[in-house]
Amino acid sequence: MGNKNQQGKGGAEQGLIVSHFGVAVEVLFDSGERRMVKVKRNSGHVVGDRVTVAGEVLNRLPRQTELSRRDARGGVHLLAANLDVLGVVLAPGTPSGFLDRAIVAARAAGLSPFVVFNKCDLPEASELGDATGRVYGGIVPCFPLSTVTGAGIEPLREFLRQGHRGAFVGTTGVGKSSLMNALCPELNLKVGALSDYNWTGRHTTTVSSLHALSGGGELVDTPGFRDFGLVDITVPELAVWFPGFEALREHRCRFNNCRHRQEPGCAVRDDVGSGAISEERYQTYLVLLSEVEALEEAAQRRNWKK
């Protein structure tokens, strides 16, 4: 855990948390030195945090972004700080609505989403991949690829090389571990749907880490990203950040809390009328809106019972 005599030479040093081991973090200092620093369990530090360190005292600097997930019991867990992009990984079979929810959650957290459509080597991928490109291509960066053949990986590398710090989310089995391995071979993650868990359902690894890519850019790998949803999105977030509704940023509804159904003076319905928002996006929005409303109502009922 470091030698106290060599530390705390007067002022505190600044650095970045690059690994989190539960009771200790590894800090990469601006000097290039790496050192382990003890932390309390649940100290609130996460990978991506910038910190000052004086001896064994860790001070967290303000965050630009925070990314969290919700567990099965409704608890919110912070996963990483100061990411600027989030890769949403899809493959044939990804449930519809997953991408829209993830894009909304990423944007609400201040991250720019991009899409990775994996398993393009499979015959059933071509139609779905084309459809995804058609709908989302003009909205967020899209990378159709195959981690098996390597086709399409280079444009993604090129994108990350522009200095982005990101992570991947996606349902089990879409190929997130395979993708991380393709981009940072030193990680050598186990591939296979259940590899992140042991028989009790617990993570077999609790280490989160940040990896500098050889060409530039950084990726965060955390067990929490691998198989869970992001935090639930709210109705107001959905309306503001829904992919395909970007035209709205120039155009306001009469009512601040407009849900874009039947309200008078609704900018979304105007934009659908003029073609600035596509009918497909609008219909998909309405389906997701009903789902998010139902989830919010269920959560409220649970809170009333408490």
Q: How far is the CB of 206 from Mg ion (least distance, A)?
A: 15
- The C-alpha atoms of residue 290 and residue 264 are separated, in whole angstroms, by 19
Question: Does position 118 bind ligand GDP by CB under 6 A?
Answer: yes
CB nearer ligand GDP, residue 48 or residue 152 = 152
Question: Does position 173 bind ligand GDP by CB under 6 A?
Answer: yes
End-to-end CA distance of the chain: 44
Length reported for the chain: 306
Cβ atoms of residues 98 and 113 within 8 Å: no
Question: Does position 146 bind ligand GDP by CB under 6 A?
Answer: yes
Containing 113, the helix (H) or strand (E) segment is strand 112-117
Q: How does strand 66-70 pair with strand 76-81?
A: antiparallel
CB nearer Mg ion, residue 177 or residue 209 = 177
Q: Copy the structure tokens of residue 182.
A: 């393709």
Question: Does position 147 bind ligand GDP by CB under 6 A?
Answer: yes
Region for 32 from its dihedrals, namely left if φ exceeds 0, alpha if ψ lies in -120 to 50, beta otherwise: left
Q: What residues numbered 162-201 form the site for Mg ion, per CB under 5 A?
A: 177
Question: Does position 170 bind ligand GDP by CB under 6 A?
Answer: yes
Q: What residues numbered 233-272 form the site for ligand GDP, per CB under 6 A?
A: none
Per CB under 6 A, the list member of 193, 286, 294, 298 interacting with ligand GDP is 193
Q: How far is the CB of 124 from ligand GDP (least distance, A)?
A: 10
- The C-alpha atoms of residue 229 and residue 72 are separated, in whole angstroms, by 10
Binding site for ligand GDP (CB under 6 A): 118-119, 121-122, 146-148, 170, 172-178, 191-193, 226
